[in-house]
């Protein structure tokens, strides 16, 4: 469980599997960094710290918006996506501490399908509330018009299938799909009034 955590309440720690977070900033972060999450590898650092610009696009802690996000780092090797939980070395004074440190490696197609399904769900919920021009929706709409070209390591270009325009109901569901779906379902949506 990527969201396993301990919550401090009245001086005692309680173990939980889910966490209360806001859907909108996560959707905005996933849409904004969609291509980078799916196709950008972990950089060679040769002992140095990872660049802040790379971390902001790949480290879920940078979703921010006043919430304590899981310490989840997402990167790709072009065929698979690694969801890597980590612990910081700095003592954590926060009332929520994420306790799992496992990594999950999934086929890139599975992660792509699940992120797009999640983004479509977010857009649908906002549209149902009469919201049509949130920051997330502006970025999400741009995904529909991307040329779907990615520059690969050797300078070659490869045309990707335009999955955003494919109906979700026609996509095959593979057993691996349930791993990422389970992670996203453990994040409980907190609606702001």
3-state secondary structure of 142: helix
Task: Provide the terminal-to-terminal Cα distance of the chain, rounded to the nearest Å.
Answer: 29
Distance CA 100, CA 105 (A): 15
The pLDDT-based confidence of 144 (bands split at 50, 70, 90) is low
Helix axes 23-32, 108-128, angle to 10 degrees: 130
Residue partners of 111: CB distance under 8 A and separation at least 6: 37, 38, 81, 180
Per-residue model confidence as pLDDT tens digits over 37-75: 999 999 998 888 999 999 999 999 899 888 888 889 999
Instruction: Find tokens 């209360």 and name the residue.
Output: 20
Distance CA 35, CA 151 (A): 11
Distance CA 115, CA 181 (A): 9
What is the mean pLDDT of the segment spanning 74-95? 81
Comparison of pLDDT for 97 and 135, the residue scoring more? 135
Tokens of 102: 């496992």
Residue-level pLDDT at 30: 96
Exposed e or buried b per residue across 56-72, where buried means at least 16 C-beta atoms within 10 angstroms of its C-beta: bbbbbbebeeebbbbbb
What does pTM read for this prediction? 0.71
What is the pairing mode between strands 80-85 and 103-107?
antiparallel
Per-residue model confidence as pLDDT tens digits over 2-35: 778 888 888 888 888 888 888 899 999 999 999 9
């Amino acid at each position: 469980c990527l969201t396993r955590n301990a919550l401090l309440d009245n001086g005692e720690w309680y173990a939980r599997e889910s966490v209360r977070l806001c859907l909108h900033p996560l959707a905005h972060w996933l849409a904004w960094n969609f291509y980078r999450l799916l196709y950008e590898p972990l950089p060679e650092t040769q002992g140095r710290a990872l660049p802040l610009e790379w971390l902001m696009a790949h480290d879920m802690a940078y979703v921010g918006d006043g919430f304590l996000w899981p310490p989840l780092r997402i990167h790709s090797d072009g065929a698979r996506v690694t969801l890597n939980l980590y612990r910081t070395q700095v003592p954590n004074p926060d009332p929520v501490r994420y306790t799992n440190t496992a990594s999950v490696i999934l086929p890139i197609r599975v992660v792509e399908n699940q992120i797009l399904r999640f983004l479509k769900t977010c857009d649908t919920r906002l549209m149902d509330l009469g919201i049509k021009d949130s920051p997330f929706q502006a970025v999400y709409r741009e995904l529909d018009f991307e040329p779907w070209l990615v520059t690969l390591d050797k300078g070659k270009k490869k045309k990707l299938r335009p999955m955003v325009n494919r109906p979700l109901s026609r996509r095959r569901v593979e057993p691996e799909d349930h791993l990422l779906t389970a992670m996203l379902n453990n994040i409980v949506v907190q609606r702001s009034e």
